[in-house]
């Protein structure tokens, strides 16, 4: 068939139509009805990023055969996304090394970025602006999610945003373990009220060094001193009264 085809009914083609040009198309059993196309098989030529074999809207935007069983997606005559034979997706790269790899040159305005954008117009305290969930297929870790990172509004007017980190075990869904608040304070096991605020015991192998300020502990007692050198829980320093060390 050469030229345009116009019909008020259905057009059914059972034979293969083939053209040998770069934009050539092979169609097997195609039915057109009400402006829709149904095809058992649709094959196109290889094409290229500047002249995709299946173009959408114009001659340099669409899909093409990127070689090695890969598909290239092109806009404006250059490839923007690539899906390789293993299902890895590259955005800005034609050789992704992970399930999703985003690549750019890192100059101003071209920094590789993943952005989670909440469109909620009236954000309140506790509202989640975005989150990253981790899931395990292992039956021993059936809790969903297994771990998570969330951006959470901490004020009723939506003016402050915290970042929370959640983990879990067994069948339990992940729960919050650490929070960095909008001021940069870090809380482990609690919402922080200082630069580092820990609820529970903590252990370090190095030194605690302060350039200014002080290190403060609870009063403790003779049987459970608040500062305990070594591993003995009943040996150390405590505050029996004001301005006194025991």
Q: How far is CA 215 from CA 7, 49, 155, 171, 226, in A?
A: 86, 63, 30, 39, 12
The confidence score (pLDDT) of residue 38 equals 62
At 154 the pLDDT is 96
Convert the pLDDT of each residue in 37-95 to its tens digit.
665 666 778 899 999 988 888 889 999 999 999 999 999 999 999 999 999 999 999 99
Positions in the chain whose pLDDT score sits under 50: 2, 15-23
Query: Considering just the CA atoms, what is the radius of gyration of the chain in Å?
Result: 31
- For position 21, what pLDDT does the model report? 44
> Is the bond preceding 145 in cis, omega lying within 30 degrees of 0?
yes
Distance (Å, whole) CA 186 – CA 180: 5
Instruction: Assess contact for 97 and 87: CB atoms under 8 A.
Output: no
Q: Output the average pLDDT for the chain.
A: 86
pLDDT for 22 equals 46
SS3 108: coil
Helices (H), 24-99: none
Helix, strand, coil distribution of the chain in percent, nearest 5: 0, 35, 65
Give residue 32's pLDDT.
56
Answer yes or no: are the C-beta atoms of 129 and 115 closer than 8 Å. Answer: no
Secondary structure (3-state) at 140: helix
Asked if 118 contacts 130 with a C-beta cutoff of 8 angstroms, the reply is yes
Query: What does the alpha-carbon distance between residue 130 and residue 215 come to, in Å, rounded to a whole number?
Result: 36
* Residue in 184, 187, 185 with CA at minimum distance from that of residue 176: 187
Please count the other Cβ atoms lying within 10 Å of the Cβ belonging to residue 25: 16
- Residues 142 and 158: their CA atoms lie apart, in Å, by 33
């Amino acid at each position: 068939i050469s030229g345009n085809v116009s019909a008020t009914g259905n057009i059914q083609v059972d034979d293969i139509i083939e053209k040998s040009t770069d934009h050539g198309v092979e169609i097997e059993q195609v039915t057109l009805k009400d402006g829709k196309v149904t095809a058992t098989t649709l094959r196109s030529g290889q094409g290229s990023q500047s002249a995709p074999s299946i173009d959408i809207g114009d001659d340099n935007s669409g899909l093409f055969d990127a070689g090695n069983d890969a598909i290239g997606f092109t806009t404006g005559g250059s490839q923007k996304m690539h899906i390789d034979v293993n299902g890895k997706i590259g955005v800005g790269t034609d050789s992704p090394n992970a399930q999703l790899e985003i690549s750019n040159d890192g100059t101003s305005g071209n920094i590789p970025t993943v952005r989670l954008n909440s469109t909620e117009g009236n954000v309140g305290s506790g509202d989640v602006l975005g989150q990253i969930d981790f899931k395990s297929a292992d039956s021993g870790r059936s809790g969903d999610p297994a771990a998570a990172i969330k951006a959470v509004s901490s004020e009723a007017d939506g003016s402050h945003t915290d970042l929370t980190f959640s983990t879990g075990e067994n069948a339990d869904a992940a729960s919050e373990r650490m929070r960095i608040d909008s001021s940069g304070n870090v809380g482990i096991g609690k919402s922080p009220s200082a630069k580092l605020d820990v609820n529970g015991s903590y252990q370090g192998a190095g030194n605690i060094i302060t350039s200014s300020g002080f290190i403060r502990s609870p009063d403790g007692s003779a049987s459970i001193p608040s500062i305990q050198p070594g591993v003995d829980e009943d040996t150390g320093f405590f505050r029996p009264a004001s301005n006194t060390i025991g």
